[in-house]
Amino acid sequence: MKVAATGSSCSIAVSRAPEPGEIYWENFAIGNCNRTCRRILIIVPYLLMLCLSAAIITGVERLKLSYIQNHPDDTTFVLVVTILGSSMVAVLNICLNYVILYTTHFEMLKTKTMFIISELWKRVPTYLINNILIWFAIFGDEWSHWYQPGNLLESGFYLALSNLFLPNLLLVTNFLPFMYRKFCEPWVDTQSELNRLYEPPVMDMAEGYASLLRTAAIGLFFGPGLPIMYPITAVALIIMYWSWKYALVRCFRRPPAFSDEIAPFVRKWALGMCLGQSVAGSLLSLSLSLSLLLL
């Protein structure tokens, strides 16, 4: 654009205006400096919880590896610990989700789209670390044993199964909002507060997109070494689709109209996961070659 008074040119960035229903009008009083400070402050509890969950997963798996070295024939106990360790990841993810949700509210963002994207910036790395990266790091010094019972690929298999059932079951049964209502109900003082407590919960769009990326990532990263992960991932995505559709119709209130910024953000993460699959496939191929050489 050219300014008529001076004859100089300047560029203007134009974006679509957000829908009125997705604007947090009360947050416009918060300045950019204040909001930046809030974002810095919430990083601390988020990183502490993430490090705690990684430490729990690492501790359990390290104990399992030491038990395997001392009792190589006790496959039943190793299998039970592997299943419990994989299921524990889903529970840790749920706890971290609540930390992310409440700390993101502290940012006082201007629109619900900004809120969703800010949540995705935290949830997607959390899922990738807890479900993918930490497992490759734990078993990193066991390259030649990744295909053995209790090691990386068996843990990945049960990670996929726990991701297939537990999150979708909690979503369809609306279990967590139900427990929240039962917990808060004795502390309600007025009928209006009780009515608000029993209103349908808001659909968590960030959790939907992050769960989609998590499910795809588990299949992409573990699939090169365990091909059965691909049909499991396909089934998981089908179940996820119908679970979220049922929850949207039966459990959640109608979501607001978001802007078109969320889908490109998710596509960039999906592209990065496809590139990460190449690295994981190379590592798994190398592990298979080492296993065959040691036979």
Residue 4 counted as domain residue: no
pLDDT in tens, 143-198: 667 777 778 888 889 999 988 888 899 889 888 888 888 888 888 888 888 888 88
Q: Which residues contact 162 (CB under 8 A, 6 or more apart)?
A: 83, 86, 87, 89, 90
pLDDT in tens, 259-276: 788 888 899 998 988 888
Task: Place 293 in a pLDDT band, splitting at 50, 70 and 90.
Answer: low
Residue of 33, 207, 215, 10 lying closest to 108 (CA atoms): 33
Task: Place 130 in a pLDDT band, splitting at 50, 70 and 90.
Answer: very high
Residue of 19, 177, 174 lying closest to 101 (CA atoms): 177
Strand partners, 23: 111
Residue 266 counted as domain residue: yes
Residue 7 counted as domain residue: no
pLDDT over 90 (residue 238): yes
pLDDT (average), residues 98-112: 88
Cβ neighbours around 115 below 10 Å, total? 22
pLDDT (average), residues 207-222: 92
Which residue range(s) make up the domain with 162? 21-294
Domain count, the chain: 1
Residue 269 counted as domain residue: yes
Rounded CA separation 171/164 (Å)? 12
pLDDT in tens, 9-51: 777 777 777 777 788 888 888 888 888 888 888 888 889 989 9
Residue 212 counted as domain residue: yes
Residue 91 counted as domain residue: yes
Tokens describing residue 187: 């502390």
Task: Place 7 in a pLDDT band, splitting at 50, 70 and 90.
Answer: low
Residue 9 counted as domain residue: no
Map residue 111 onto helix, strand or coil.
strand
pLDDT value of position 120 = 92
pLDDT in tens, 55-85: 999 888 888 888 877 877 777 888 888 888 8
pLDDT value of position 278 = 84
Residue 3 counted as domain residue: no
Rounded CA separation 248/253 (Å)? 7
